[in-house]
């Protein structure tokens, strides 16, 4: 079981104590005791009028945080107005304001450890526009946000609304845990709601195990409907799980299939009419994904794009259909989503920020499983971008990406993912063949999926005899019905493709 929830609760008091307390109305007393007289602004200086929208006030700080400690050069010297505008322009999820004092020991600790930590840097660079405010140099923003202690880290949505704040100097691990939720727009109430719905989801699964299907259906639908009402982030956290359970339940129980289809039809109808939200979009794509109906999502996307090319949900929809568009060979359309190089860099930086940590798990075995799952996910996503670059004809960038991916996640799985991506393009290269051979050697010919990839690449490159011999050997050592089925299908298709080559 993950420790995150209990660690957050146990650490809440410690965070507030690991801070230098300030006067909330005049936050300019650094490390001084709470009873110290606050420093006064010069009498001759007229304070500026409070802004009509406080969350859009200027935040330029006279002191430069980046001079306080190494590794903080990712903080930007922007006003809050500029930071919010940049967050919208760059599609960032949040603006982070770090309130600190040069004379506060907790601030210095936060800067030397947490804010300079690689995982924190990667997360904040990828998803936020981070700025700083020195409480000893500025008075307006600390007053507006009623900063009672430093360091305080405030998370804002790109529209300026506050999501949540962290008071004190948490360690890197705790900060990433909290910030990951806040950046997604979930405040502490949302997080608590997610925990309740996760418990109801667990109850539904337990009821399924006991064959109490009607009760399980009630719980699954409660989780799905309540998460959809809450927020898109909450829906993604638990609603998607409920859909997976309902799809499985619906295979043998008509009531579950009917209930899920009715929610699908309603969400799809709103997408067609232009009244949909991000939750509706996620509902449709998640149901289709779990039901093996990716083509339905693509058809609906094409219909909306044709009827309403300016629909604000289309960019997000295009991102959710990345794999379907890629498999359809619509490479130029995917490349139009934004700077491809920047998206690839976000993939790598995101992997560094979100890789599981041993400290998050009580059981070392559970950590290994989670780490392997995340590495597989990362390798798969990287290979898909490799396929996209190949489809666009940018072989040089594709090979650079492949080398980085193999270095980041070495192993047969990554090599096979890349080789398969090359095969899917219809024109696998010599490099793809080399990677497939190496993957096969690493598993001593004992992985049916890798055998399938290598054989198909050999066949496409005209080496049918070698491909057939490889699959026949694989069939001799295959142990599971699934592996046997995969290799028999591969052998049949290769033999069919070999006949025209022999005749010519």
pLDDT tens readout for residues 279-292: 999 999 999 999 98
Cα–Cα distance for residue pair 337/340, rounded to 1 Å: 8
Q: How confident is the model at residue 38 (pLDDT cuts 50, 70, 90)?
A: very low
**DSSP tag of 21:** E
Closest CA to 35 of 26, 22, 18: 22
pLDDT grade for 165, boundaries at 50, 70 and 90:
very high
Contacts of 242 (CB under 8 A, 6+ apart): 201, 204, 220, 221, 223, 224, 227
Give yes or no for a contact between 118 and 42, defined as CB atoms under 8 angstroms apart.
Answer: no
pLDDT tier, 9 (very low <50, low <70, confident <90, very high otherwise): very low
- Given a cut of 60, whether residue 315 has pLDDT beyond it is yes
Q: What's the rounded mean pLDDT across residues 303-324?
A: 91
Q: Which residues contact 30 (CB under 8 A, 6 or more apart)?
A: 20, 101, 102, 103, 104, 135, 136
- Is pLDDT above 70 for 22? no
Identify the pLDDT of residue 501: 56
pLDDT at 188: 78
442-458 pLDDT tens trace: 999 889 999 999 999 99
**Which fold would CATH assign to domain 4-185?**
Glutaredoxin (3.40.30)
Token pair in block for residue 252: 């043998």
pLDDT of 57 above 90: no
Give the sheet arrangement for strand 94-100, strand by strand: 128-134, 94-100, 152-156, 162-167
Q: What is the mean pLDDT of residues 463-469?
A: 95
Domain ranges of the chain: 4-185, 190-333
Inter-residue long-range contacts of 25-28, CB under 8 Å, 24+ positions, other chains counted: 25/143, 25/146, 26/139, 26/143, 27/99, 27/135, 27/139, 27/142, 27/143, 27/147, 27/148, 27/150, 28/135, 28/136, 28/139, 28/142
Model pLDDT, residue 43: 36
Residue range 338-367: average pLDDT? 79
High-pLDDT (> 90) share of the chain, %: 55
Cβ neighbours for 223, distance < 8 A, ≥ 6 positions apart:
197, 200, 201, 204, 238, 239, 241, 242
């Amino acid at each position: 079981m993950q420790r995150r929830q209990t660690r957050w609760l146990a650490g809440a008091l410690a965070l507030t104590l690991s801070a230098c307390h300030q006067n909330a109305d005049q936050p300019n007393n650094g490390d001084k005791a709470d009873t110290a007289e606050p420093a006064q602004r010069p009498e001759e200086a007229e304070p500026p009028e409070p802004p009509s929208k406080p969350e859009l006030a200027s935040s330029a700080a006279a002191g430069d945080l980046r001079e306080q400690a190494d590794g903080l050069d990712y903080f930007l010297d922007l006003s809050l107005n500029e930071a919010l505008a940049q967050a919208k322009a760059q599609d960032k999820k949040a603006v982070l304001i770090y309130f600190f004092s040069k004379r506060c020991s907790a601030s210095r600790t936060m800067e030397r450890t947490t804010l300079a930590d690689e995982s924190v840097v990667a997360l904040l660079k990828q998803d936020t526009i981070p700025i700083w405010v020195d409480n000893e140099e500025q008075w307006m923003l600390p007053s507006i946000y009623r900063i009672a202690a430093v360091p305080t880290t405030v998370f804002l949505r790109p529209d300026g609304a506050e999501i949540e704040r962290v008071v004190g100097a948490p360690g890197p691990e705790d900060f990433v845990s909290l910030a990951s939720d806040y950046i997604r727009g979930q405040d502490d109430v949302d997080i608590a709601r997610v925990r309740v719905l996760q418990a109801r989801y667990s109850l539904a699964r337990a009821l399924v195990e006991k064959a109490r299907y009607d009760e399980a259906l009630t719980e699954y639908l409660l989780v799905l409907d309540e998460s959809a009402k809450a927020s898109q982030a909450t829906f993604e956290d638990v609603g998607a799980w409920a859909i997976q359970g309902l799809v499985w339940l619906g295979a043998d129980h008509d009531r579950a299939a009917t209930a899920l289809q009715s929610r699908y039809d309603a969400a799809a109808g709103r997408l067609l009419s232009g009244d949909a939200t991000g939750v509706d979009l996620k509902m449709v794509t998640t149901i289709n994904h779990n039901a093996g109906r990716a083509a339905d999502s693509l058809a609906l996307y094409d219909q909306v794009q044709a009827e309403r090319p300016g629909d604000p949900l289309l960019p997000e929809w295009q991102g959710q259909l990345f794999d379907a568009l890629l498999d359809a060979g619509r490479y130029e359309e995917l490349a139009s989503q934004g700077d491809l190089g920047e998206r690839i860099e976000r993939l790598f930086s995101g992997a560094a920020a979100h890789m599981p940590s041993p400290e998050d798990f009580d059981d070392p075995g559970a950590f290994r499983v989670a780490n392997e799952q995340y590495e597989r996910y990362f390798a798969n996503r990287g290979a898909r971008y490799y396929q996209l670059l190949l489809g666009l004809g940018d072989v040089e960038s594709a090979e650079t990406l492949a080398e980085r991916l193999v270095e980041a996640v070495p192993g047969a799985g990554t090599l096979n993912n890349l080789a398969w991506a090359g095969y899917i393009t219809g024109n696998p290269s010599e490099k793809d063949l080399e990677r497939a051979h190496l993957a096969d050697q690493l598993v001593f010919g004992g992985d049916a999926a890798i055998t399938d990839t290598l054989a198909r690449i050999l066949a496409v490159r005209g080496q049918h005899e070698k491909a057939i011999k490889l699959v026949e050997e694989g069939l001799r050592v295959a142990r599971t019905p699934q592996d046997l089925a995969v290799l028999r299908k591969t052998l049949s298709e290769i033999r069919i493709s070999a006949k025209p080559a022999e005749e010519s």
